[in-house]
Amino acid sequence: MDKLLYWSDNRMLYMAISFGLLSLLTFLCVIPTLSIKTSCERLIILLKSEYLFIFTLYAFIFAARWPSLFWYKGYSIDEDQFLSAAWTLIKDPIFFRSVETGSSGPMNIYPMLGSMILGIIPGFISVRLIALFMTCSAIALAYFACKKFTAIQYARTGILMPSAFFGLTSFWDFSGYSSELPSILYLCIGMLCASVIFNFNHPNALFKCSVYGFIGAFFISLVPLAKLQGVYLALFTGGVLMLAIFLNHQLRIREKMWSAFFAICGGLTFPLMFVVLMWSSGSFNYFFNSYFLNALAYVDSGHQGFNPIAFVWQIILKGIDFQIIFLGWGVVFVFSLLILSVGFFKKRRITGFFKVVLSLLFLVLAFFTVISPRRDWAHYLLFVPVYLGISLSVIMQVLDDNNCFKNIKYKSTVLCFLVILIGVFPIGIYRSIKTNPWIGTAKTWTPVHSATYSPIGKAILTAVSSNNSYLCVWGYNPDYHSETRLNQSTRLNISTAQFNANNLQPFFRHTYLEDLQKNKPEIFVDATARNQFPALNDPEKYRHEVIPEIRDFVAANYTLFEEIDGVRIYRWKEVHP
């Protein structure tokens, strides 16, 4: 508690550090456009260096996000699911256990395994540090990809936008390990490889392009196994990678074909390995149904359908800062496209118009990724900021190339400052006025340490006989798995699939009961209570007794151990041998 009070008392210091780093990052974006005459040439070289810019980018996002690691209660619901699956996978390394997280696949789980393999106890702070590192790395890779097509100042200014977004937004879904972050990182690796291939000029071009093609396609192929909604962006990024190979003038036709062949091999390597492992473990049928088919049904069902007006209003009410960001970027895009359109009709030709179209297609697909699930969940918008930044970089470069501001002196500097003033600093000003971004939306939440447990978590650990025992949680509460670190007894750590209105419902009910009969969990928790997670909090509709097979299994094998606020904790009648 003393540590948390320390963060609270020093939040103004963190605000000052964060805005100081943001100001430095902004200066480093603009300095390549300035002609500074000074006797201290080494200082100018240092200020213009890539190393200082990337270090400052990481430092700003880490500093802006650092206090939120301590203030948000435990894990988000996604973090609970991922951590529960990863924890069980370490104890029971069967591949099917790593894919049971709704529309998120195994490649969202595997990044968490590194610290566990090293013996580091996972906590919500360490999990969010992994998320922060992936976010910063994705933005840095996107910057290097931009730099292949745009001037350094435009690449930096465009990437400043997603940096400010990820650093200064305070909605709880953006502060943790979200299911979109691994996909964004994999896509950025693919984009960087495509940009390197497109501009590659080397005596041994065939070998280098083949290696970059293999690596880029390999990581792009991981996206559908991380977040199925990102498959549109993955397919398009893969197409851009192949296009980069065939547009490389250094390669002859035969060399282009070989490079494309290695790229295809890279794209097939991990999926084929994963399928073979699934077949050998007898889990492929379950994986196909539970991940691919269930995710498609999940996307098709929605909750209340996608309503853009309601979605925007929800965003404003929650204070997720999108209104300021999108307004600033929207103004830049509208004016940029108007200028480009006028130039197109006047000159009949615009230098770099193809790059604008390509970047805007990426942006359209990113927004489609948000809209396609037809759900009003803001965290899907994490796919958008990086592509907004890249598009902005390209548009600014094309405006400059076509002399759209030819009468303005130091137009590059003015253009960069214009974008920064419209789209970046208003975010920070808005957040400072409306609420403290370093506490965020967790106003009524209480801090949770790894050494403390909820009353239900304490009761579960009291009832269980061993740390290696199995636990089954009926409801939408994977937090009891991540809190107690007991093995999942079912491949699904939530029971929403039992009630989904689609043709997979019998499959999930049968599999759930089959897992219970096989693993015989020592503790069965029915968490369908009014004060639990809203998705399944109506005990009359969602309690385990609603499904006869589950009701009979629990009645025959368990006795009620304790009931806390409507959450019923059952214990196995006999001690397992």
> pLDDT by residue (tens digit) across 164-209?
888 877 666 676 788 889 999 999 999 999 999 987 777 777 888 8
- Band (pLDDT 50/70/90 cuts) for residue 325 is low
**Of 235-249, 405-419, 511-525, 534-548, minimum mean pLDDT range:** 405-419
- pLDDT for 443 equals 36
- Band (pLDDT 50/70/90 cuts) for residue 1 is very low
Tell me which residue has tokens 């770099």. Answer: 352
**Of 143-157, 202-216, 262-276, 433-447, minimum mean pLDDT range:** 433-447
- pLDDT for 420 equals 67
Helix, strand or coil, per DSSP, at residue 538: coil
Helix, strand or coil, per DSSP, at residue 268: helix
From CA 566, how far away is CA 547, in angstroms rounded?
A: 19
From CA 196, how far away is CA 199, in angstroms rounded?
A: 5
| Higher pLDDT among residues 136 and 167, named by residue | 136
- Position 326, amino acid: F
Helix, strand or coil, per DSSP, at residue 408: coil
Segment of 110-114, 152-156, 361-365 carrying the highest mean pLDDT: 152-156
177 closest CA partner among 259, 299, 82, 96: 82
Residue 432 has pLDDT above 60, yes or no: no
Other C-beta atoms closer than 10 Å to the C-beta of 38 total 8
The distance in angstroms from the start CA to the end CA of the chain is: 42
- pLDDT for 26 equals 84
What would the mean pLDDT of 290-314 be, rounded to a whole number? 61
Query: CB within 8 A of 189, min separation 6: which ones?
Result: 141, 215, 216, 219, 220
- Position 42, amino acid: R
Three state DSSP letters for 422-480: HHCHHHHHHHHHHCCCCCCCCCCCCCCCCCCCCHHHHHHHHHCCCCCCEEEEECCCCHH
507: tokens are: 């499959």
From CA 564, how far away is CA 560, in angstroms rounded?
A: 11
Other C-beta atoms closer than 10 Å to the C-beta of 211 total 16
Task: Count Cβ atoms within 10 A of the Cβ of residue 445 and give its class: 0-12 exposed, 13-18 middle, 19 or more buried.
Answer: middle
pLDDT exceeding 70 applies to what percent of the chain?
71
Residue 522 has pLDDT above 90, yes or no: yes
What would the mean pLDDT of 451-480 be, rounded to a whole number? 84
From CA 168, how far away is CA 541, in angstroms rounded?
A: 40
226 closest CA partner among 381, 77, 78: 78
Residue 477 has pLDDT above 90, yes or no: no
Mean model confidence pLDDT for the chain = 77
- Band (pLDDT 50/70/90 cuts) for residue 524 is very high
560: left (phi over 0), alpha (psi -120 to 50) or beta: beta
- pLDDT for 185 equals 94
Residues forming a β-bridge with 526: 474, 568
**Of 179-183, 274-278, 375-379, minimum mean pLDDT range:** 375-379
- Render 83-106 in DSSP notation, one character per residue: HHHHHHHHHS--GGGGS-BTTB-G
The DSSP bridge pattern shows strands 523-526 and 470-474 to be parallel
Residue 9 has pLDDT above 80, yes or no: no
| Higher pLDDT among residues 36 and 554, named by residue | 554
| Higher pLDDT among residues 480 and 574, named by residue | 480
- pLDDT for 4 equals 43
Other C-beta atoms closer than 10 Å to the C-beta of 406 total 8
From CA 127, how far away is CA 501, in angstroms rounded?
A: 33
- pLDDT for 494 equals 85
- Render 335-400 in DSSP notation, one character per residue: HHHHHHHHHHHHHS--TTHHHHHHHHHHHHHHHHHHHTT----GGGGGGHHHHHHHHHHHHHHHHH
